[in-house]
Structure 1
Amino acid sequence: MSVLAPYACDPARSRGRQHAEPGGEARGPRDIFQRDRDRIIHSISFRRLRHKTQVFVAPDGDHYRVRLTHSLEVAQIGRTIARVLGLNEDLTEALCLAHDIGHPPFGHAGEDALEEALAGQGGFDHNAHCLRTLALLENAYPRFPGLNLSWEMMEGLAKHNGPVLAPNWAMQQIDAAFPLELESWPSLEAQVAALADDIAYDNHDIDDGLRAGILTLEQLLEAPFVRRCWEQVTARYPDLPAEQLLRELIRDQIGIMVNDLIMTTRENLRLHGLEQADVSAVRGAGQAMVAFSDAMREDERQLKRFMYANLYHHPTQLAAAGRARVIVTDLFRAYQADPALMGTAWDASCGAAEPERSRHIADYIAGMTDRFAERAHQEIFGVS
């Protein structure tokens, strides 16, 4: 077992869970963060990620990434970084695995549609909905709602992108029941999870875009970071065809970004006198400690701009997103008019008063997979 650095989250010093759980020791020698990770893996909401959009809506090919495989790749990157920095690997892994659980069907297109549908009822945010799902909507235990995850896990999911100064209604409800100190910075484990997510999708979305034929190598070489990495790869393997080196390019880019992040984070901890500090000092540091260097941050920004221009906003992607928004909007309106269409259990718990009624319907839709939403739409409207 790795030795934890002073600034890591120590399971022995966890702030615990919202609901007491006597007798848990009968289920094996796992600490609180290991149990968090296992609860995520065994949850229904995690399993549903296998049929939720990452980049391509309901992809035809078996080799494209979905939210589930993306989350596994984020966890692999995050755990590697955590091990080198002396952080808690189990907490980091759990945060990485859970970070996308709040996404509705069809990715950001589905989220945009739910945000518009709930415009008068507080709106929709996938990060807040992640906490809502794990704290309230999962129904795995007899004595309490949700998965009853540790304070450190919930805090990390709430704040992995930094302090939350304007929480929406869903985040406010969670914070009121289990205060998460939303105004402070999160643990280093949560900060690692956030940038592991960026590293994963920056690079793996390139892989999927090439596979789909939307991106070409010639286009990619317009991005300075990609061009430099490609020059290194082709110098090592001058006799191999370009097609055989594309995955080597992706691996190199991930490795370079991970190494830059580790070196920069170590330097940040040193400069801020946090090398021997505890996690409370990290939370009070006033800024993120896990970061890229200035040069890598600019490279990463340029790469994101390239991906938005050439992949995420490609005409075929925009057309698919438009269709996805229609499906989610139609379903929301249909359930508003007749909650019985959601099925007995969801209909029975759907009240008449707002905003609870609309939020309840959004909970139901947000839990759908892409294919379930498409099937439900076809059953109601008779069109595909």
Structure 2
Amino acid sequence: MTQLARYASDPRQSRGRLHDEARAGSDGTIRGPRDDFQRDRDRIIHSISFRRLRHKTQVFVAPDGDHYRVRLTHSLEVAQIGRTIARALGLNEDLTEALCLAHDIGHPPFGHAGEYALEEALADSGGFDHNAQTIRTLTKLERPYPRWDGLNLTWEMLEGLAKHNGPVARPTWALEEADAAMPLDLESWPSLEAQIASVADDIAYDNHDIDDGIRAGLLSIDQLLTLPFIAERWSAICTRFSDIERDRLIPELIRDQIGLMVNNVIDTTVKRIKDTGIETVDDIRGAGRMIGGFSDDMAINERALKKFMYSNLYNHPEQMEAADRARDVVADLVAAYRDKPELMPESWVVTLPTEEPDRMRHIADFMAGMTDRYASTAHMQIFGSNGEPGYE
């Protein structure tokens, strides 16, 4: 194992799993020379819910082009950035990668549009939150093992997923359930690996969504140049490649931006560790602030970029029109399954609770696991092309 920093998460010091596991397979052989965090990562990669990410919206709803990102490719890109930063800081790369790969598993079909529809549908049943749904999926809904539900991930993995954005003061019902089964110290800050996974997510979608937006024709480089820190980077690139046409320089801009942000996170995190006197994992959790992240100046630039992306891409009229249609699809399906639960697959029907709020939460579990195309097909089968219910 690579030498870890003293403040890194060490699998040998893990707080363990909810269910005790034998170290050997059914035939008595050891299943590979892997530590606990490597096993967590591998369980995510082999899970059904991870595979479904290849057909779930990242930015564009059910994208027609083969080159646009989906939740799966986004998660892989986050993992690459996360591992790079973790390696530079002496953190546990495997735990960082596992958190990056798993962070979007709870997203329903059609991205945030689908999430808004589920939030509304479950307003009287405790609501819906994709982050808590990630943990619910990995601790309850995945069932690859014969003796328990879920993937039986380590405490460090679940803790990182629960609070990678910081302490959770008001957990949702789904997170409360997970915390009751295996207390996750929700009031404290998470490991540095979890903090790095969170900022790696920001770096990935901030920059890769620019790439997809330009490719889709909804953004232009001239629009982006209204942001001074982008304009400065673009000017340097154009000077460096003065003989190359502009369109070929856009990928260079994306790479430069990612590199700039990654280096900023590394330098800033090293400085905060030194300034705060951090030496152990417990010091990270008790620091009272986020240690892994952007400098103050970079954070201002990053927020400006996010604001720009909402104004010019995420809330673009074409995007909003597609999101409205997607929200209607999810809302229609929830209503159909509520009124006629036999429309769901038999395995979901026979396990449907009889009382609320568990009944609606069960339907939401089914909905959240859908891919974009599964939801679209189900909607067509139930409602037809005219959008009217096709059942009596």
CA distance in 2: counterparts of 1:203 and 1:12, whole angstroms: 36
Q: Deviations over 1:289-339 (max 9, x none)?
A: 012111111110110010000000000000010001100000000000111
User: Mapping of 1:255-266 within 5 angstroms?
Assistant: 255-266=259-270
Alignment of 1:204-219 (within 5 A): 204-219=208-223
Map 1:51-62 → 2, pairs under 5 A: 51-62=55-66
Segments of 5+ residues of structure 1 without an aligned counterpart are none
Decide which moves more: 120-129 or 23-32.
23-32
Identical-residue share of aligned pairs (%) = 66
Partners in 1 of 2:221 and 2:362 — Cα distance? 45
User: 1:203–1:254: 8 Å Cα contact kept in structure 2?
Assistant: yes
1:70 alignment partner in structure 2: 74
Q: Tell me the residue number matched to 2:38.
A: 34
How far is 1:23 from its partner?
A: 3.0
Instruction: Tell me whether 1:122 sits opposite 2:133 in the alignment.
Output: no
Given residue 12 of structure 1, which amino acid in structure 2 is its aligned partner?
A: R
2:343 to 341, 346, 356: 341
Q: Does the 8 A contact of 1:2 with 1:83 survive in 2? A: no
Structure 1 CA distance, aligned partners of 2:240 and 2:148?
57
2:301 maps to 1:299:
yes
The residue number in structure 1 matching 2:390 is none
Measured in 2, the distance between the counterparts of 1:291 and 1:346 equals 42
* Equivalent residue, structure 1, for 2:355: 353
Unpaired stretches in structure 2, ≥5 consecutive residues: 388-392
User: Per-residue displacement from partner, 1:96-155 (whole Å, max 9, x unpaired)?
Assistant: 000000000000000000000000000000000000000000010001100000000000
Letter in 2 for 1:369: T
- TM-score, normalising length from structure 2? 0.97
Where do residues 99-178 of structure 1 align in structure 2 (5 Å cutoff)?
A: 99-178=103-182
1:171-225 CA-partner distances (Å, limit 9, x unpaired): 0000000100000000000000000000000000000000000001111111122
**Aligned amino acid, residue 171 of structure 1:** L
1:158 partner amino acid: A
Moved more, 14-23 or 50-59: 14-23
Alignment-derived partner of residue 267 in structure 1: 271
**Residues 9-45 of structure 1, C-alpha deviations (whole Å, 9 max, x = no match):** 0011001100000134710110000000000000000
SS at match of 2:81: helix
What is the 5 A alignment of 1:281-292?
281-292=283-294
Aligned match of 1:45:
49
Look up the SS of the partner of 1:128 in the other structure.
helix
Deviations 1:258-304 (A, max 9, x none): 00110000000011001xx1101110111110121111111101100
Instruction: Give per-residue Cα distances to partners, 1:228-262, cap 9 Å, x unaligned.
Output: 11011111111111001000000000000000110
| C-alpha RMSD of the superposition | 0.8
Runs of 4+ more than 2 Å apart: none
The answer to whether 1:319 aligns with 2:321 is yes
Work out the CA distance in 1 between the residues paired with 2:171 and 2:120. Answer: 18
Matched AA of 2:15: R
Matched, 1:279 2:281: yes
Task: State the one-letter code of the partner of 1:88.
Answer: N
Matched, 1:183 2:171: no
Query: SS in structure 1 opposite 2:353?
Result: coil
Counterpart AA for 1:20: D
**How far, CA to CA, are the matches of 1:267 and 1:145 in structure 2?**
42
Greater CA drift, 5-14 or 17-26:
17-26
Deviations 1:148-168 (A, max 9, x none): 000000000001000011000
The residue identity in structure 1 corresponding to 2:342 is A
2: CA distance between counterparts of 1:210 and 1:241?
A: 16
Q: SS of 2:298's equivalent?
A: helix
CA–CA distance in structure 2, aligned partners of residues 97 and 228 of structure 1: 32
Q: Contact 1:91 / 1:189 at 8 angstroms: preserved in 2?
A: yes
The one-letter code matched in structure 2 to 1:98 is A
Q: TM-score, normalization: structure 1?
A: 0.99
The number of equivalent residue pairs is 382
- How far 1:226 sits from its partner (Å)? 1.2
